[in-house]
């Protein structure tokens, strides 16, 4: 797995640019799918919690520099990678592809929701209520990111989660 880390670093930079300058403009109720959450969940599930946390911090630095919200972005993405790491599948696991896929989807949902809750608690440009920002928008963003995860699984990750 250590040989894939440089690839994941380059992929993180590309996905961060795609998220900040592309996907963030496709919004529903001021919420967009989060490709960075998907990548962090994938890294945390396949490599481990430490790698997910480290890549989360790096994603927070990259997106924070681009968005101007450095501290909050670093905190949210670090927590996101850490939480996704709870769904880690050890390399020598005998899990079926269905079990691996379920863990990936759960990691995406919980990590996205937790990051959204941190962003909602720290940044409120529209003056919305905390309940609405955290629960409604958090669940909506988690569902949109889950749809993105379904699409990515079908198109890009078939081989990764095979038996």
Q: Are 132 and 25 in contact (CB under 8 A)?
A: no
Mean pLDDT of the chain: 86
pLDDT value at position 107? Answer: 93
Find, among 128, 76, 143, 83, the residue nearest to 107 by Cα. 83
Q: What is the spatial distance between Cα 47 and Cα 62, in angstroms, rounded to a whole number?
A: 21
Find, among 109, 89, 108, the residue nearest to 47 by Cα. 89
Residue 6's CATH number: 1.10.1760.20
Q: What is the spatial distance between Cα 80 and Cα 62, in angstroms, rounded to a whole number?
A: 15
Task: Tell me the residue range of the domain where 13 lies.
Answer: 2-156
Assigned domain for 163 exists = no
pLDDT tens profile 113-157: 999 888 888 877 667 787 888 888 788 888 888 888 888 888 876
Assigned domain for 162 exists = no
Burial 75-103 (b: 16+ CB within 10 A, else e): bbbbbbbbbbbebbbeeeeeeeeeebbeb
pLDDT tens profile 55-111: 999 999 998 898 888 889 999 999 999 999 999 988 888 888 888 889 999 999 999
Between 35-46 and 137-155, two packed helices, what is the crossing angle to 10 degrees?
60
**Tally of domains within the chain:** 1
pLDDT tens profile 21-40: 888 778 887 788 889 999 99
Assigned domain for 161 exists = no
Q: Are 80 and 115 in contact (CB under 8 A)?
A: yes
pLDDT value at position 2? Answer: 64
pLDDT value at position 49? Answer: 92
Assigned domain for 48 exists = yes
Assigned domain for 50 exists = yes
């Amino acid at each position: 797995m250590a040989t894939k880390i440089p690839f994941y670093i380059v992929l993180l930079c590309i996905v961060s640019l795609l998220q900040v300058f592309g996907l963030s403009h496709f919004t529903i109720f001021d919420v967009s799918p989060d490709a960075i959450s998907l990548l962090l969940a994938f890294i945390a599930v396949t490599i481990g919690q430490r790698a997910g946390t480290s890549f989360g911090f790096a994603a927070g630095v990259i997106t924070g520099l681009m968005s101007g919200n450095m501290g909050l972005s670093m905190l949210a993405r670090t927590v996101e990678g850490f939480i996704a790491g709870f769904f880690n599948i050890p390399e020598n696991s005998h899990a079926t592809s269905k079990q691996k896929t379920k863990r990936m989807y759960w990691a995406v949902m919980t990590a996205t929701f937790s990051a959204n809750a941190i962003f909602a608690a720290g940044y409120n440009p529209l003056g919305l209520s905390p309940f609405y920002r955290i629960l409604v928008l958090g669940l909506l963003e988690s569902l949109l990111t889950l749809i993105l995860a379904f699409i990515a699984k079908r198109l890009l990750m078939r081989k990764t989660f095979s038996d």
